[in-house]
Amino acid sequence: MQELQSKCHDIEARIQEAKRQLQIPTNEVENWVTEVAKIEKEVNSIKSDFDKMRLYFNLKARYKLGRKAIRKAKIVVDLKGKGDFKVVAVCPSSPRVVKMSTTVTYGQKSNEEELWRFLQDEKYTMVCVHGMGGVEKTTLMETINNRFAGTRDFDVVIYETVSKDLNIKKDPNSHCKPIGFSFC
């Protein structure tokens, strides 16, 4: 049991180091550490029972406890053998959608629904939201961004704010084509 505990402490140290590097422990390692903690409690209970038996002589109780100790010793040896992990933690995958905090704006629901319909329509490859400052374009897009978190429509959602004045109709390099979505 001491050897298993030493191995477990080493694994836990590796887990802590991985967590400092923002990695997450693998399920296999977490389950193993949990099993070690469980068997450690059971072994300590058996040791405690053996210590109590020194005060009295009961052959049947000692026999049962000895059999229990043998079964637990086999589990300890098995767990010790399973504790050779090459990898204890992995880098978490990036979130598909980074949720943003938004404010509730009244009167934007129709614009939100209209924009959502454009985004769901496969004939459009790009949707541009433009308009004069202060009409809640950013808030609308943050709300739309958060709606993607509840769907599996896209593999990755990239949110980018472009704050350059752009005349879509006059700029020949623009790949944004107006699609009838505007703010008044």
Q: Please measure the distance between the N-terminal and C-terminal CA atoms of the chain and give it in whole angstroms.
A: 73
Alpha-carbon gap, residue 44 to 53, rounded angstroms:
14
Nearby residues of 119 by Cβ (< 8 Å), 6 or more positions away: 127, 144
Secondary structure class of 74 (helix, strand, coil): helix
Question: Domain extents for the chain?
Answer: 2-90, 95-184
Average pLDDT over residues 144-163: 76
Strongest mean pLDDT among 90-99, 137-146, 171-180: 137-146
Reported confidence tier of residue 119, pLDDT bands at 50, 70, 90: confident
HSE-CB of 101 using CA atoms within 13 angstroms? 0
Question: Residue 143 above 50 pLDDT?
Answer: yes
How far apart CA 132 and CA 165 sit, in angstroms, is: 10
The predicted-structure confidence for 65-106, as pLDDT tens digits, reads as follows: 899 999 999 999 999 999 999 999 998 876 677 777 877 777
Mean pLDDT of the chain: 81
Number of H helices, E strands in the chain: 5, 2
Tell me the average pLDDT across 139-167: 75
- Digit-coded pLDDT (tens) for 25-39: 999 999 999 999 999
Per-residue confidence band for 109, with pLDDT thresholds at 50, 70 and 90: confident
Higher pLDDT, 64 or 147: 64
Task: Dig out the tokens for 35 from the structure.
Answer: 């099993």
Q: What is the mean pLDDT of residues 107-114?
A: 81
The number of C-alpha atoms within 13 Å of 160 and in the hemisphere containing its C-beta is 6
Asked if the model's pLDDT at residue 172 lies above 60, the reply is no
Is residue 89 within 8 A of residue 12, CB to CB? The reply is no
157 burial via Cβ count (<10 Å: 0-12, 13-18, 19+):
middle
Residue type, 180: G
| DSSP, res 94 | P
> What does residue 180 show for φ and ψ, rounded to 5 degrees?
90, 10
| Six-digit token string for 114 | 């209209």
The yes-or-no verdict on residue 179 having pLDDT over 50 is no
Model confidence at 178: pLDDT above 50: no
| 16 contact partners, CB below 8 Å, separation of at least 6 | none
Chain-centre distance of CA 112, in angstroms?
Answer: 29
Confidence of residue 139 (pLDDT cuts 50, 70, 90): confident
Instruction: Determine contact, residues 29/88, Cβ cutoff 8 Å.
Output: yes
